[in-house]
Chains A and B, each alone.
Chain A
Amino acid sequence: MNTLIIIELQKMFKKWRTYIGIIAISLLAIIIQVALYFTGKNMIDFQMRGIEQSFVMVGNLLNGYFIARMILTLLIIHIPFLVVLVGGDLLAGEATAGTYRMLLTRPVSRLQVISAKFISGFIYVVVLIFWMALLSLGVSLLIFGTGPLLSIGSGIVIFAENDILWRFLGAYAYAILSMTTIIFISIIFSSLVENAIGPIISTMAIIIVFLIISAIPVDFLQSLKPYLFTSHFTQWNNFFNEEVDYREIFESAGILLAHIAALYGVTTYIFIKKDILS
């Protein structure tokens, strides 16, 4: 099984499309960092304008944590688009290339093959989020230094310097869970077709439709909201509340894990029963 996973990762990281997400995240993070390096102070002043007369602000508010939080908020919405580029190709890519015939006539079971595909997809998500964390948090801390985190949500919260890192770790871990759900959706579509374009478009279409349904203020559609997996993606934000609601986080995480298990189970069933005609 380890051999299969290593082979899958070797194949994945030899493909150009695998680096699109990594390059896109790198570029966006760098652009945001450069922009905030030159104009960040104005932005902080603008956000603090309502309270600066009531409170005395001390310390470096334009710090690495603030930048990392901003990058996380901006990029987390777009990472699904990058993740499905790889997930949609994991199985359909083999069908398009005709390499199923080589792969599945080896002394390995289809269960092992599909499991290796899922695990390598998960590893790709981890690498992508880790890379984002490294660039947005690690590099930003090097450039902008540390300080308290100014968090603007329903209200303004400022976290002390020693109360921040664990929140980021929790948020990144939750982001991995959300993106794993996305990549698993693209893998199930990928098992059904012989071209990677279909799974990519289908997965994105599902995410967009669910997000639109969630946003329409109609009672019936709002009642569906808790059942849509997209409603549970943004729980990472909870880690930046003054009081973290762990019950909500674990409930949402449970729902996403249930999705992941179901997607793995259904895809495995389809793949094991599938006639390879490509």
Chain B
Amino acid sequence: MNIEQVIEVRGLTKKFGNLVAVNNLDLNVYRGDVFGFLGPNGAGKSTTIRMLLSLIKPTSGEMKIFGKSISKDRKEIFSKVGAIVEKPDFYLYLSAYKNLEILGKLSGTDVSKKKIMSMLELVGLDKRYKSKVKTYSHGMKQRLGIAQALLHDPELIILDEPTTGLDPQGMKEIRDLIIYLSKEKGKTVFLSSHILHEVELISTRMIIINKGTTQVEGTVEELLKTDKVKVTFEVDRIEEALRAVNESSWQKGFKSTSKNEINFDLTKDEISGLNKYLIEKGIAVSAIIPVRSLEEYFLKITEGGSK
């Protein structure tokens, strides 16, 4: 593959005493990816992110960013990385502007008023730039977290739960911003999120980890395509519909029924086929309701289902 590998992790392990937080983890992020990093609580996501950002020393394993070792070329690497790690924390006794100025100086970037104000404007905080951060809501701090991560125009952006605490409009804005950064600016985004729908909407590749170990890694499209999803068909005449299903090959996808609903396990391609079949049998289908495909897939993987 000719695509440049931005993050390369091999056999990464972190032990806290007897507790193995991350166990022999492998991970690959390529340039331009919006890489979804998924796992249940306690799966080792935050520990992995902290190791990638050199906040925690790994027990063993190798990590490279931009093809360089984090332990040896830390400064060079972090001049091209922006990050939010867990909740956004700032110097509460300083203004948003001053916080960005300090963090910008540490990153060796332009800290002109124009630059800082443009970042604050991007995240909708320009009107409160003089306010001390202690007066900010959690959502505002989250936005400021995004601003500080983007301030030095990094090539790789590591975002740990970036939409936590935001209202639906704010969540959409951050999602749109991530898509914009990826598609228009060519940034690579490493996105850890609990919101599976979010990952499904914006990620190009993803990994699911559990108990510190890689469960699956690949493109979102490929991973979801190979698996069946739960679909509910809402019909007008339930008994006739059930009879039609039982008389056909669709019976093998049948799972359960309730009131005027029939539940199936189907691939995406099969959904339209079953719809067509029921209509041909004179049964009106008023709704086809898919259970979120990634949610279903995630639960299957993390609850010990097939790889």
Please say whether chains A and B are actual partners in one complex. yes
Tell me the A residues contacting B by CB distance below 8 Å: 3-4, 7, 10-11, 14-16, 97-109, 273, 275-277
Residues of A within 8 A of B94 (CB): 11, 14
Q: Say yes or no: A101 contacts B85, CB within 8 Å.
A: yes
Q: Say yes or no: A107 contacts B75, CB within 8 Å.
A: yes
Q: Say yes or no: B55 contacts A10, CB within 8 Å.
A: no
B260 beta carbon closer than 8 Å to chain A: no
Distance A277 CA – B81 CA, assembled complex (angstroms): 20
CB distance from A188 to the nearest CB of B (A): 20
B106 beta carbon closer than 8 Å to chain A: yes
Q: Say yes or no: B106 contacts A108, CB within 8 Å.
A: yes
Q: Say yes or no: B53 contacts A105, CB within 8 Å.
A: yes
Chain B residues 29 to 44 lying within 8 A of chain A, measured CB to CB, are none
Q: Say yes or no: A276 contacts B89, CB within 8 Å.
A: no
Residues of B within 8 A of A15 (CB): 93
Q: Is the interface of A mostly helix, strand, loop or mixed?
A: loop
Distance A15 CA – B91 CA, assembled complex (angstroms): 10
Q: Say yes or no: A10 contacts B107, CB within 8 Å.
A: no
Residues of B within 8 A of A98 (CB): 87, 89
Q: Mark B126-140, 1 if CB is under 8 A from A, else 0.
A: 000000000000000
CB distance from B126 to the nearest CB of A (A): 20
8 Å CB contact of A109 from B50, B75, B90, B108: B75
Residues of A within 8 A of B87 (CB): 98
9 sampled A-B residue pairs with Cβ under 8 A: A7-B102, A11-B102, A101-B85, A103-B106, A104-B55, A107-B79, A107-B106, A273-B57, A275-B56
Q: Say yes or no: B105 contacts A3, CB within 8 Å.
A: yes
Distance A7 CA – B107 CA, assembled complex (angstroms): 12
CB distance from B298 to the nearest CB of A (A): 27
Q: Say yes or no: A106 contacts B106, CB within 8 Å.
A: yes
8 Å CB contact of A101 from B75, B86, B92: B86
Q: Say yes or no: B56 contacts A97, CB within 8 Å.
A: no
Q: How large is the interface on B (under 10, 10 to 19, 20 to 34, 35 or more residues)?
A: 20 to 34
With A101-B89, A104-B55, A276-B56 given, can you name 6 additional A-B contacts, CB distance below 8 Å? A4-B106, A10-B102, A16-B93, A99-B89, A108-B106, A273-B57
Residues of B within 8 A of A14 (CB): 91, 93-94, 98
8 Å CB contact of B55 from A101, A107, A109: A101
Residues of A within 8 A of B106 (CB): 3-4, 7, 103, 106-108
B76 beta carbon closer than 8 Å to chain A: yes
Residues of A within 8 A of B85 (CB): 101, 105
CB distance from A260 to the nearest CB of B (A): 26
Chain B residues 46 to 94 lying within 8 A of chain A, measured CB to CB, are 50, 53-57, 74-79, 81, 83, 85-87, 89-94
CB distance from A56 to the nearest CB of B (A): 59
Q: Say yes or no: B103 contacts A102, CB within 8 Å.
A: yes
Q: Mark B93-123, 1 if CB is under 8 A from A, else 0.
A: 1100010001101111000000000000000
Residues of B within 8 A of A11 (CB): 91, 94, 102
Distance A108 CA – B91 CA, assembled complex (angstroms): 18
Q: Say yes or no: B53 contacts A7, CB within 8 Å.
A: no
Distance A11 CA – B101 CA, assembled complex (angstroms): 12
Distance A105 CA – B56 CA, assembled complex (angstroms): 11
B163 beta carbon closer than 8 Å to chain A: no
Q: Say yes or no: B78 contacts A106, CB within 8 Å.
A: yes
Q: Among the interface residues A98, A100, A102, which one has the most CB atoms of the partner chain B within 10 A?
A: A102
Q: Say yes or no: A106 contacts B74, CB within 8 Å.
A: no
B148 beta carbon closer than 8 Å to chain A: yes
Decide: A102 near B148, CB < 8 A? Known: A4-B106, A97-B91.
Answer: yes
Q: Say yes or no: A105 contacts B89, CB within 8 Å.
A: no
8 Å CB contact of B50 from A97, A273, A276: A276
Distance A276 CA – B54 CA, assembled complex (angstroms): 9
Distance A7 CA – B90 CA, assembled complex (angstroms): 14
Residues of B within 8 A of A101 (CB): 53, 55, 85-86, 89
Residues of B within 8 A of A100 (CB): 55
Q: Which 3 A-B pairs have the closest CB atoms?
A: A98-B89, A106-B106, A276-B55
Distance A103 CA – B85 CA, assembled complex (angstroms): 11
Decide: A107 near B57, CB < 8 A? Known: A98-B89, A102-B89, A276-B50.
Answer: no
Residues of B within 8 A of A3 (CB): 105-106
Q: Say yes or no: A108 contacts B93, CB within 8 Å.
A: no
8 Å CB contact of A108 from B56, B75, B83, B98: B75
Q: Say yes or no: B81 contacts A105, CB within 8 Å.
A: yes
Distance A187 CA – B110 CA, assembled complex (angstroms): 32
